[in-house]
Structure 1
Amino acid sequence: MLKVGIIGTGGISGAHLQGYGRFGRDCEVVALCDVQPERAHARRAEFGLDGARVHDDARAMLAAEDLDLVSIATPPATHRDLAVAALEAGVHVLVEKPMAPSLEDCDAMIAAAERAGRICSVVAQNRFRDDMATLKAALDSGLIGSVSHARVDSAWWRGRAYYDLDWRGTWASEGGGCTLNHAIHHLDLTLWLLGRPHAVTAVLTNAQHDNAEVEDLSVAVLAYERALATVTASVVHHGEEQGIVVQGERARVSQPWKVVADVAAPNGFGAPGGDPELVERLEALAAGLPALPHQGHTGQIGDVLAAVRDGRAPAIDAQDGRNAVELVTAIYASGIERRTVPLPIPPDDPYYRAGTLVERAPHYYEKTASVAGLPGEIRVGGAAADAR
């Protein structure tokens, strides 16, 4: 029975607690920590964790408890220090996305995990979804041929008050805007589906949130050897219509699931009816995939628990988390410096370091409110499964 602690009991901690609750034979949540202990007590009562102890200091919790694994569900700027402290205490770590605001922070976390011989997994729960698994299988099958273009829409909508929460809306505390804290999901999926691009060109703006320093909209072009991908990151899109469309040599596949396969007439235009046989093969592939046993956070938590128990690497490790942060960093560097950014980003690049965004990023507006909490429940919108 693995003993689990939760650091940070705000909105997203509920997804972690629900996930651990599904594996009651394998683990027990024995400790909750929050700088506002009343929130931890509320979570304790909500989930019936009568035996769990509440702490208001993470290091004190790590010293007092005999833990095997902690979930870190705190603001991004705190992830490095908390993860390193847990790893140095010999505790495995599952840390919420984004892994950290800088590559320097990410590498410190990776080094701590290697020194300790412990797992550091970064939340990328959208890989544990049937629709994404279908898209991945279609691309891996090779049926669509070489990829020409991908359109990735990380479309969210957030009202002005969203950025009144104290840690949101500044480069120093949130680490960035929608590109880092919302589109990180779709950027991770882009890397999972297509691999790492060799260069990034991007633009940023704040279109609608005059109480936040950070961007609420970015558009990036990712350059591959013979393909391009466009990624829109937004919290200004009404309807939150998210999706991924991949155009291949022989067919297009997408999430939400759709298949189209055009063929050329003698004059080069599309022939009526396309390629129904290829469409049928792709539809049969999708229909034949087994459903995942667990979705979202629960799926990833189940994998991490099994990895700890079996002494293996998790499906999503710290390098995966770092790769997504590197792509975000390239988007920010490109948008701020107005240049194309090659990948990988080396340690001598200013944008590798913690603090460069705080020094160089524009303040689109100044933060005008800073409250410790916002009323009401978080709402999971669109097709994604997170509530940041």
Structure 2
Amino acid sequence: MLRIAIVGAGAISSAHIKAYLQFPEKCRIVAVCDIYSEKAEKLVAQYQLPAKVYKDYSDLLEHSEIDLVSVCTPPYTHAETSIAFLNAGIHVVVEKPMASSLEECDRMLEAAKNSGKLLSVVAQNRFTTPMMKLKNVLETRLMGPIVHTQVDSFWWRGYSYYDLWWRGTWEKEGGGCTLNHAVHHIDIFQWMNGMPAEITAVMSNTSHDNAEVEDLSIAIARYPDGSLAQITSSVVHHGEEQQLIFQGKKARVSVPWKVAASKSKQNGFPEEDSALELELQNVYESQPELKHEGHTGQIHDVLLAVEGEKDLLVDGIQGRRTLELITAIFQSASYGETVRLPLKPDSPFYTREGILENAVHFYEKKNSIENFAENTITSGGNN
């Protein structure tokens, strides 16, 4: 029976708690920690947890024997917190984004390697039936080589969203919508399509003059074979309609699911390739529904990995790749130049200090409140 700790009692912590509670035969939550202890106490009462409340995770490390921790704190604390638990011989699940900088990611990976413990970065959108089905379709190569990918990570957040004390600053949030919203789709993008060779990007703050960070970015990724991808990250899109579209030489597929295939007439104009469409549709429909989805699916994956039954689907290396793409978008948009990948330690955006010094500050943060009365989140329209 694995003993679980939840560090950070904000909105996302409930997703972790609900996930662990789905597997009472494998684990139990024994501790909840938050600098606002009343928030931790509220969670313990709400979910009737047999758990002790802690205010400081260092006290948790000293006084509680745990096997696995979920780190659900603001992004700027992810590295320090995760490394402390890894060094103590405790497996770690850390919320997205993995950290505030690639340098922090590398220290986290080193701590995981030295401790021999697992480090998993939350990417719950991988653990959905549509995404797994799309991944399987792409792996058939029936579409031919991918020539263009479209990533629309459209969210909407009101002005007051950035009033929360840690949001809206490069120091504490680490970035805006590209890092903290589009991270889901950028992770899916690199998981399905691999890492590009270069990034060219622009970003802006169109609607939130109470935040230093961007609320809209558009990036073009280029692959060595000449194929292109466009990635739009936003918290200014009403309806929160999100999609990933993969255009192959023979057909296109997407989430939300849609398939279309074309073949050439003698004059080069298209006609429908209904046979290929049917083949792709059959591949998609033949894939099983996932038993566990979202955070529950990822927590189940982690629990099985801790028990030695499988490898992690989303480890620290995967988490770092996603942050590398995001960092390249920030560097390109801030400097107005194309950035080649991979990013190396000499990149001006490799460290947190470098990001703070070089990233565009659109506005100064105007407001700072400790907590919102309503502690719920939305997860977007389609994905």
Q: TM-score, normalised by structure 2?
A: 0.98
Contact map agreement 2:4 2:27 (CA 8 A) in 1: yes
Deviations 1:124-162 (A, max 9, x none): 111100111111111101110000101000000000000
Contact map agreement 2:32 2:52 (CA 8 A) in 1: yes
Secondary structure of 1:381's counterpart equals coil
Matched residues, percent identical?
49
- Which aligned runs of 4 or more in structure 1 are off by greater than 4 angstroms? none
Q: Counterpart of 1:17?
A: 17
Question: Residues of 1 paired with 2:33 and 2:377: CA distance?
Answer: 20
Question: Residues of 1 paired with 2:364 and 2:273: CA distance?
Answer: 54
Q: Counterpart of 1:128?
A: 127
Deviations 1:310-359 (A, max 9, x none): 17531110000000000000000000011110000011222111211211
Match of 2:350 among 348, 352, 360: 352
Q: Counterpart of 1:106?
A: 105
Aligned AA for 2:254? S
Q: Counterpart of 1:40?
A: 40
Query: What is the aligned-residue RMSD (CA, Å)?
Result: 0.9
Q: Counterpart of 2:316?
A: 318
Aligned: 1:308 with 2:306: yes
Question: Residues of 2 paired with 1:117 and 1:325: CA distance?
Answer: 23
Secondary structure of 2:349's counterpart equals helix
Question: Residues of 2 paired with 1:106 and 1:337: CA distance?
Answer: 23
Contact map agreement 2:242 2:380 (CA 8 A) in 1: no
Contact map agreement 2:348 2:358 (CA 8 A) in 1: no
Secondary structure of 1:319's counterpart equals helix
Q: Counterpart of 2:166?
A: 167
Q: TM-score, normalised by structure 1?
A: 0.97
Contact map agreement 1:119 1:313 (CA 8 A) in 2: no
Question: Residues of 2 paired with 1:112 and 1:258: CA distance?
Answer: 42
Secondary structure of 2:187's counterpart equals helix
CA shift, 1:362, in A, is 2.0
Contact map agreement 1:125 1:297 (CA 8 A) in 2: yes
CA shift, 1:62, in A, is 1.3
CA shift, 1:364, in A, is 0.9
Which 5+ residue runs of structure 2 have no aligned equivalent?
Answer: none
Aligned AA for 1:65? S
Q: Counterpart of 1:64?
A: 63
* Higher mean displacement: 308-317 or 37-46: 308-317
Question: Residues of 2 paired with 1:60 and 1:378: CA distance?
Answer: 29
CA shift, 1:380, in A, is 2.6
Contact map agreement 2:349 2:358 (CA 8 A) in 1: no
* Higher mean displacement: 184-193 or 345-354: 345-354
Aligned: 1:210 with 2:209: yes
Question: Residues of 1 paired with 2:265 and 2:292: CA distance?
Answer: 45
Question: Residues of 2 paired with 1:156 and 1:379: CA distance?
Answer: 9
Aligned: 1:373 with 2:371: yes
Q: Counterpart of 1:275?
A: 273
Deviations 1:48-99 (A, max 9, x none): 10x2000000011011111000000000000011001000111000000000
Contact map agreement 2:348 2:355 (CA 8 A) in 1: no
Matched residue count: 381
Contact map agreement 1:157 1:234 (CA 8 A) in 2: yes
Aligned AA for 1:215? E
CA shift, 1:183, in A, is 0.6
